[in-house]
Structure 1
Amino acid sequence: MFEQLTQLVQQFGDDAVVKNSAIPNEHNEGVINEAGNSIFSGLQKIASEDGGKQLTTLFQGKSIDSSNPVVQQLTQQLSGSLGEKFGLSNDTSSSVAGSMIPKILNSLVNKAKDPNDNSFQVSDIINAVTGNSSQASGIMDTISKYGMQFGLDQNADGKVDTADVLEVAKSNGGIGGFIGKLFNRK
Protein backbone atom coordinates (compact mmCIF):
# COMPACT_ATOMS: atom_id res chain seq x y z
CA MET A 1 0.00 0.00 0.00
CA PHE A 2 2.85 2.37 0.81
CA GLU A 3 4.23 1.94 -2.72
CA GLN A 4 0.89 2.88 -4.29
CA LEU A 5 0.62 5.89 -1.99
CA THR A 6 4.14 6.93 -3.00
CA GLN A 7 3.12 6.77 -6.66
CA LEU A 8 0.15 9.06 -5.99
CA VAL A 9 2.36 11.49 -4.06
CA GLN A 10 4.82 11.62 -6.95
CA GLN A 11 1.99 12.07 -9.45
CA PHE A 12 0.50 15.04 -7.61
CA GLY A 13 3.85 16.37 -6.39
CA ASP A 14 4.90 17.51 -9.85
CA ASP A 15 2.75 20.66 -9.87
CA ALA A 16 2.81 21.32 -6.13
CA VAL A 17 6.55 20.74 -5.62
CA VAL A 18 8.67 20.34 -8.75
CA LYS A 19 7.06 23.23 -10.65
CA ASN A 20 6.94 25.39 -7.52
CA SER A 21 9.63 28.09 -7.68
CA ALA A 22 9.35 28.65 -3.90
CA ILE A 23 10.88 25.20 -3.32
CA PRO A 24 14.58 24.89 -4.14
CA ASN A 25 15.16 22.10 -6.68
CA GLU A 26 17.55 20.30 -4.34
CA HIS A 27 14.61 19.79 -1.93
CA ASN A 28 12.07 18.48 -4.46
CA GLU A 29 12.68 14.79 -3.82
CA GLY A 30 12.86 15.26 -0.07
CA VAL A 31 9.63 17.27 0.02
CA ILE A 32 7.81 14.63 -2.03
CA ASN A 33 9.16 11.82 0.19
CA GLU A 34 8.15 13.75 3.30
CA ALA A 35 4.64 14.17 1.89
CA GLY A 36 4.25 10.41 1.45
CA ASN A 37 5.66 9.63 4.89
CA SER A 38 3.56 12.31 6.52
CA ILE A 39 0.32 11.10 4.91
CA PHE A 40 0.98 7.50 5.87
CA SER A 41 1.97 8.30 9.46
CA GLY A 42 -0.93 10.75 9.71
CA LEU A 43 -3.42 8.09 8.64
CA GLN A 44 -1.90 5.73 11.21
CA LYS A 45 -2.27 8.36 13.91
CA ILE A 46 -5.87 9.10 12.93
CA ALA A 47 -6.72 5.38 12.97
CA SER A 48 -5.20 4.94 16.43
CA GLU A 49 -6.81 8.03 17.95
CA ASP A 50 -10.46 7.56 17.05
CA GLY A 51 -10.82 3.87 16.36
CA GLY A 52 -11.11 4.45 12.65
CA LYS A 53 -14.29 6.53 12.62
CA GLN A 54 -12.69 9.28 10.54
CA LEU A 55 -11.20 6.75 8.13
CA THR A 56 -14.57 5.08 7.72
CA THR A 57 -16.15 8.45 7.00
CA LEU A 58 -13.34 9.24 4.58
CA PHE A 59 -13.98 6.08 2.54
CA GLN A 60 -17.71 6.68 2.47
CA GLY A 61 -17.45 10.30 1.36
CA LYS A 62 -18.16 11.36 -2.19
CA SER A 63 -15.60 14.13 -2.51
CA ILE A 64 -12.71 15.05 -0.30
CA ASP A 65 -11.82 18.71 0.03
CA SER A 66 -10.08 21.05 2.45
CA SER A 67 -13.06 21.03 4.83
CA ASN A 68 -12.67 17.31 5.55
CA PRO A 69 -11.23 16.77 9.08
CA VAL A 70 -8.78 14.13 7.83
CA VAL A 71 -7.52 16.50 5.13
CA GLN A 72 -7.19 19.31 7.68
CA GLN A 73 -5.23 17.14 10.10
CA LEU A 74 -2.90 15.74 7.42
CA THR A 75 -2.41 19.19 5.85
CA GLN A 76 -1.45 20.71 9.18
CA GLN A 77 0.96 17.87 9.95
CA LEU A 78 2.65 18.01 6.53
CA SER A 79 2.82 21.78 6.51
CA GLY A 80 4.60 21.84 9.88
CA SER A 81 6.95 19.09 8.84
CA LEU A 82 7.92 20.82 5.58
CA GLY A 83 8.68 24.06 7.39
CA GLU A 84 10.71 22.30 10.04
CA LYS A 85 12.71 19.93 7.81
CA PHE A 86 13.24 22.09 4.71
CA GLY A 87 12.99 25.63 6.05
CA LEU A 88 10.04 26.46 3.81
CA SER A 89 7.89 29.46 4.70
CA ASN A 90 4.50 28.89 6.30
CA ASP A 91 2.78 30.06 3.11
CA THR A 92 4.78 27.69 0.89
CA SER A 93 4.39 24.74 3.26
CA SER A 94 0.65 25.34 3.61
CA SER A 95 0.22 25.76 -0.13
CA VAL A 96 2.07 22.53 -0.96
CA ALA A 97 0.21 20.51 1.70
CA GLY A 98 -3.15 22.09 0.85
CA SER A 99 -2.68 21.31 -2.81
CA MET A 100 -1.44 17.75 -2.51
CA ILE A 101 -3.40 16.20 0.37
CA PRO A 102 -6.96 16.49 -1.03
CA LYS A 103 -5.86 15.27 -4.47
CA ILE A 104 -3.96 12.30 -3.08
CA LEU A 105 -6.76 11.27 -0.71
CA ASN A 106 -9.40 11.69 -3.43
CA SER A 107 -7.40 9.49 -5.76
CA LEU A 108 -6.72 6.93 -3.02
CA VAL A 109 -10.38 6.70 -2.00
CA ASN A 110 -11.67 6.64 -5.58
CA LYS A 111 -9.28 3.82 -6.46
CA ALA A 112 -10.36 1.88 -3.36
CA LYS A 113 -14.02 2.36 -4.32
CA ASP A 114 -13.55 1.44 -7.98
CA PRO A 115 -14.55 -2.20 -8.48
CA ASN A 116 -12.49 -2.25 -11.71
CA ASP A 117 -9.28 -1.07 -10.04
CA ASN A 118 -7.53 -3.73 -7.98
CA SER A 119 -4.51 -1.57 -7.09
CA PHE A 120 -6.14 -0.43 -3.83
CA GLN A 121 -8.54 -2.31 -1.58
CA VAL A 122 -10.19 -0.71 1.42
CA SER A 123 -9.17 -3.60 3.67
CA ASP A 124 -5.54 -3.37 2.48
CA ILE A 125 -5.43 0.34 3.24
CA ILE A 126 -6.95 -0.15 6.68
CA ASN A 127 -4.60 -3.05 7.45
CA ALA A 128 -1.61 -0.96 6.33
CA VAL A 129 -2.43 2.06 8.48
CA THR A 130 -3.38 -0.01 11.52
CA GLY A 131 -0.48 -2.45 11.21
CA ASN A 132 -2.76 -5.47 10.76
CA SER A 133 -3.83 -5.13 14.37
CA SER A 134 -7.10 -5.87 16.05
CA GLN A 135 -7.84 -2.24 15.33
CA ALA A 136 -8.25 -3.17 11.65
CA SER A 137 -11.05 -5.51 12.58
CA GLY A 138 -12.64 -2.70 14.61
CA ILE A 139 -12.57 -0.41 11.61
CA MET A 140 -13.99 -3.13 9.41
CA ASP A 141 -16.70 -3.63 12.08
CA THR A 142 -17.50 0.07 11.81
CA ILE A 143 -17.76 -0.27 8.05
CA SER A 144 -20.02 -3.26 8.62
CA LYS A 145 -22.18 -1.19 10.98
CA TYR A 146 -22.54 1.53 8.38
CA GLY A 147 -23.13 -1.17 5.81
CA MET A 148 -26.27 -2.07 7.75
CA GLN A 149 -27.47 1.50 7.35
CA PHE A 150 -26.86 1.32 3.60
CA GLY A 151 -28.90 -1.86 3.22
CA LEU A 152 -26.04 -4.26 2.66
CA ASP A 153 -27.42 -6.93 5.01
CA GLN A 154 -28.66 -9.11 2.17
CA ASN A 155 -29.82 -12.07 4.26
CA ALA A 156 -31.41 -9.99 7.09
CA ASP A 157 -29.31 -11.66 9.80
CA GLY A 158 -28.41 -8.37 11.48
CA LYS A 159 -24.82 -8.13 10.29
CA VAL A 160 -22.84 -7.49 7.12
CA ASP A 161 -20.57 -10.46 6.59
CA THR A 162 -19.23 -12.93 4.03
CA ALA A 163 -22.69 -14.37 3.40
CA ASP A 164 -23.90 -10.92 2.36
CA VAL A 165 -20.87 -10.47 0.11
CA LEU A 166 -21.64 -13.77 -1.59
CA GLU A 167 -25.30 -12.84 -2.05
CA VAL A 168 -24.44 -9.48 -3.59
CA ALA A 169 -21.74 -11.16 -5.65
CA LYS A 170 -24.31 -13.45 -7.20
CA SER A 171 -26.62 -10.63 -8.16
CA ASN A 172 -24.37 -7.59 -8.68
CA GLY A 173 -21.30 -8.68 -10.54
CA GLY A 174 -19.01 -10.12 -7.90
CA ILE A 175 -17.09 -8.65 -5.01
CA GLY A 176 -16.68 -5.40 -6.96
CA GLY A 177 -20.46 -5.06 -6.95
CA PHE A 178 -20.52 -5.45 -3.17
CA ILE A 179 -17.77 -2.88 -2.65
CA GLY A 180 -19.46 -0.61 -5.17
CA LYS A 181 -22.72 -0.88 -3.27
CA LEU A 182 -20.94 -0.21 0.02
CA PHE A 183 -19.56 3.01 -1.39
CA ASN A 184 -22.70 3.96 -3.30
CA ARG A 185 -21.25 3.08 -6.72
CA LYS A 186 -23.48 1.07 -8.95
Structure 2
Amino acid sequence: MFEQLTQLIQQSGLQSVINNPEVPNEHNDAVIAEAQNSILSTFSQLNANGETQQVNEALESADHPVTQNIQQNFAGNIMEKFGINSATATSIAATLIPTVLNAIKGGGGASGASGGFNIQDILSSLGGNSGFGSGNIQSSINNIGGKLGLDKDGDGDVDLNDITKMFR
Protein backbone atom coordinates (compact mmCIF):
# COMPACT_ATOMS: atom_id res chain seq x y z
CA MET A 1 0.00 0.00 0.00
CA PHE A 2 2.79 2.45 0.84
CA GLU A 3 4.46 1.60 -2.47
CA GLN A 4 1.18 2.51 -4.21
CA LEU A 5 1.11 5.79 -2.32
CA THR A 6 4.69 6.51 -3.35
CA GLN A 7 3.80 5.83 -7.00
CA LEU A 8 0.74 8.06 -6.71
CA ILE A 9 2.82 10.90 -5.28
CA GLN A 10 5.49 10.44 -7.97
CA GLN A 11 2.84 10.59 -10.71
CA SER A 12 1.15 13.58 -9.09
CA GLY A 13 4.49 15.30 -8.58
CA LEU A 14 5.68 14.90 -12.15
CA GLN A 15 4.92 18.49 -13.10
CA SER A 16 5.19 20.23 -9.73
CA VAL A 17 8.40 18.51 -8.56
CA ILE A 18 10.21 16.43 -11.16
CA ASN A 19 9.75 18.82 -14.12
CA ASN A 20 10.21 21.89 -11.95
CA PRO A 21 13.52 23.67 -12.66
CA GLU A 22 13.40 25.22 -9.16
CA VAL A 23 13.81 21.73 -7.62
CA PRO A 24 17.33 20.36 -8.13
CA ASN A 25 17.10 16.92 -9.78
CA GLU A 26 19.13 15.29 -7.01
CA HIS A 27 16.34 16.24 -4.56
CA ASN A 28 13.35 15.02 -6.61
CA ASP A 29 13.01 11.65 -4.84
CA ALA A 30 13.57 13.16 -1.42
CA VAL A 31 10.92 15.85 -2.02
CA ILE A 32 8.47 13.14 -3.09
CA ALA A 33 9.35 11.14 0.05
CA GLU A 34 8.83 14.27 2.16
CA ALA A 35 5.33 14.72 0.70
CA GLN A 36 4.48 11.15 1.66
CA ASN A 37 5.96 11.59 5.12
CA SER A 38 3.99 14.82 5.66
CA ILE A 39 0.72 13.13 4.75
CA LEU A 40 1.35 9.91 6.68
CA SER A 41 2.68 11.58 9.82
CA THR A 42 -0.34 13.90 10.01
CA PHE A 43 -2.78 11.05 9.41
CA SER A 44 -0.92 8.91 11.95
CA GLN A 45 -1.14 11.61 14.63
CA LEU A 46 -4.85 12.14 13.99
CA ASN A 47 -5.46 8.40 14.03
CA ALA A 48 -3.53 7.97 17.28
CA ASN A 49 -5.63 10.73 18.83
CA GLY A 50 -8.86 9.06 17.67
CA GLU A 51 -9.58 11.85 15.18
CA THR A 52 -10.19 9.69 12.12
CA GLN A 53 -13.12 11.92 11.12
CA GLN A 54 -10.58 14.72 10.59
CA VAL A 55 -8.73 12.48 8.12
CA ASN A 56 -11.94 11.81 6.20
CA GLU A 57 -12.80 15.51 6.16
CA ALA A 58 -9.29 16.41 4.93
CA LEU A 59 -9.77 14.05 2.00
CA GLU A 60 -12.96 15.90 1.11
CA SER A 61 -11.65 19.47 0.98
CA ALA A 62 -8.45 21.23 -0.02
CA ASP A 63 -9.56 24.06 2.29
CA HIS A 64 -9.81 21.83 5.38
CA PRO A 65 -7.47 22.90 8.21
CA VAL A 66 -5.78 19.46 8.22
CA THR A 67 -5.06 19.74 4.49
CA GLN A 68 -3.72 23.26 4.99
CA ASN A 69 -1.55 22.04 7.87
CA ILE A 70 -0.07 19.24 5.74
CA GLN A 71 0.70 21.74 2.98
CA GLN A 72 2.36 24.19 5.37
CA ASN A 73 4.45 21.50 7.04
CA PHE A 74 5.50 20.02 3.70
CA ALA A 75 6.43 23.44 2.27
CA GLY A 76 8.41 24.33 5.41
CA ASN A 77 10.23 21.01 5.38
CA ILE A 78 11.32 21.20 1.74
CA MET A 79 12.45 24.80 2.18
CA GLU A 80 14.53 23.84 5.21
CA LYS A 81 15.88 20.50 3.97
CA PHE A 82 16.46 21.24 0.29
CA GLY A 83 16.83 25.01 0.10
CA ILE A 84 13.77 25.45 -2.12
CA ASN A 85 12.56 29.06 -2.03
CA SER A 86 9.33 29.93 -0.24
CA ALA A 87 7.22 30.73 -3.33
CA THR A 88 8.22 27.50 -5.07
CA ALA A 89 7.73 25.36 -1.96
CA THR A 90 4.30 26.89 -1.33
CA SER A 91 3.30 26.35 -4.95
CA ILE A 92 4.47 22.71 -4.93
CA ALA A 93 2.59 22.04 -1.68
CA ALA A 94 -0.58 23.76 -2.89
CA THR A 95 -0.57 21.63 -6.03
CA LEU A 96 0.79 18.29 -4.86
CA ILE A 97 -0.89 17.71 -1.49
CA PRO A 98 -4.53 18.33 -2.57
CA THR A 99 -3.96 16.28 -5.74
CA VAL A 100 -2.67 13.31 -3.74
CA LEU A 101 -5.42 13.56 -1.11
CA ASN A 102 -8.05 13.78 -3.84
CA ALA A 103 -6.57 10.70 -5.53
CA ILE A 104 -6.60 8.80 -2.23
CA LYS A 105 -10.25 9.76 -1.77
CA GLY A 106 -10.94 8.78 -5.40
CA GLY A 107 -9.74 5.27 -4.64
CA GLY A 108 -12.83 5.00 -2.49
CA GLY A 109 -13.49 2.08 -0.24
CA ALA A 110 -12.81 -0.81 -2.60
CA SER A 111 -9.25 -1.97 -2.84
CA GLY A 112 -9.72 -2.87 -6.47
CA ALA A 113 -11.06 0.55 -7.43
CA SER A 114 -9.03 3.09 -9.33
CA GLY A 115 -5.87 3.54 -7.31
CA GLY A 116 -6.83 0.87 -4.81
CA PHE A 117 -6.78 3.08 -1.70
CA ASN A 118 -8.97 2.37 1.27
CA ILE A 119 -8.53 5.03 3.93
CA GLN A 120 -9.33 2.55 6.70
CA ASP A 121 -6.53 0.28 5.46
CA ILE A 122 -4.13 3.22 5.46
CA LEU A 123 -5.14 4.25 8.97
CA SER A 124 -4.89 0.72 10.35
CA SER A 125 -1.45 0.26 8.79
CA LEU A 126 -0.28 3.43 10.52
CA GLY A 127 -0.38 1.57 13.80
CA GLY A 128 -3.83 2.18 15.19
CA ASN A 129 -3.66 3.84 18.57
CA SER A 130 0.04 3.20 19.07
CA GLY A 131 0.91 6.72 17.94
CA PHE A 132 3.33 8.25 15.52
CA GLY A 133 6.57 6.64 16.69
CA SER A 134 5.08 3.20 16.14
CA GLY A 135 6.95 0.37 14.51
CA ASN A 136 4.59 0.21 11.53
CA ILE A 137 5.20 3.77 10.37
CA GLN A 138 8.92 3.66 11.13
CA SER A 139 9.28 0.38 9.26
CA SER A 140 7.45 1.88 6.32
CA ILE A 141 9.62 4.98 6.33
CA ASN A 142 12.76 2.84 6.52
CA ASN A 143 11.53 0.57 3.72
CA ILE A 144 10.52 3.40 1.40
CA GLY A 145 13.54 5.53 2.32
CA GLY A 146 15.86 2.62 1.54
CA LYS A 147 14.23 2.13 -1.86
CA LEU A 148 14.61 5.82 -2.61
CA GLY A 149 18.30 5.72 -1.71
CA LEU A 150 17.89 7.78 1.45
CA ASP A 151 19.74 5.26 3.66
CA LYS A 152 23.06 7.02 3.10
CA ASP A 153 24.97 5.25 5.89
CA GLY A 154 23.77 1.76 4.89
CA ASP A 155 22.53 0.78 8.35
CA GLY A 156 19.04 -0.26 7.23
CA ASP A 157 17.14 2.74 8.56
CA VAL A 158 16.49 6.33 7.58
CA ASP A 159 17.38 8.71 10.38
CA LEU A 160 19.30 11.84 11.30
CA ASN A 161 22.63 10.19 10.43
CA ASP A 162 21.42 9.72 6.83
CA ILE A 163 20.36 13.35 6.58
CA THR A 164 23.78 14.43 7.87
CA LYS A 165 25.54 12.28 5.27
CA MET A 166 23.43 13.82 2.47
CA PHE A 167 25.04 17.18 3.04
CA ARG A 168 28.67 16.11 3.38
Distance 2:72 2:46 in 1: 13
Name the SS for the 1:4 alignment partner: helix
Give deviations 1:69-92, integer Å, cap 9, x for gaps: 221011011011101110111111
Assess, with a 3 A threshold, how the Cα gap between structure 1 residues 134 and 25 changes in structure 2: closer, same or farther.
Answer: closer
Pairing 1:58-69 to 2, within 5 Å after superposition: 58=58, 61=60, 64-65=61-62, 67-69=63-65
Give deviations 1:114-149, integer Å, cap 9, x for gaps: 5751822232022023x03389xxxxxxxxxxxxxx
2:17 and 2:92 in contact (8 A); partners too: yes
Distance 2:113 2:101 in 1: 16
- Counterpart of 1:29? 29
- Counterpart of 1:73? 69
1:42 and 1:77 in contact (8 A); partners too: no
1:79 and 1:90 in contact (8 A); partners too: yes
Distance 2:25 2:84 in 1: 12
Two-structure CA RMSD over aligned residues (Å):
2.2
Report how far residue 50 of structure 1 moved. 5.7
- Counterpart of 2:166? none
Amino acid corresponding to residue 123 of structure 2 in structure 1? I
1:99 is matched with which residue: 86, 95, 99?
Answer: 95
Q: State the TM-score, normalized to the length of structure 1.
A: 0.62
Check if 1:126 corresponds to 2:120: no
What runs of 5+ residues in structure 1 fail to find an aligned partner? 136-186
Report how far residue 101 of structure 1 moved. 0.3
Distance 1:18 1:115 in 2: 28
Name the SS for the 2:128 alignment partner: coil
Report how far residue 17 of structure 1 moved. 0.5
Report how far residue 57 of structure 1 moved. 2.5
Name the SS for the 2:108 alignment partner: helix
Seq. identity, %? 37
| Structure possessing the higher radius of gyration over alpha carbons | 1
What runs of 5+ residues in structure 2 fail to find an aligned partner? 132-168
Q: State the TM-score, normalized to the length of structure 2.
A: 0.68
- Counterpart of 1:166? none
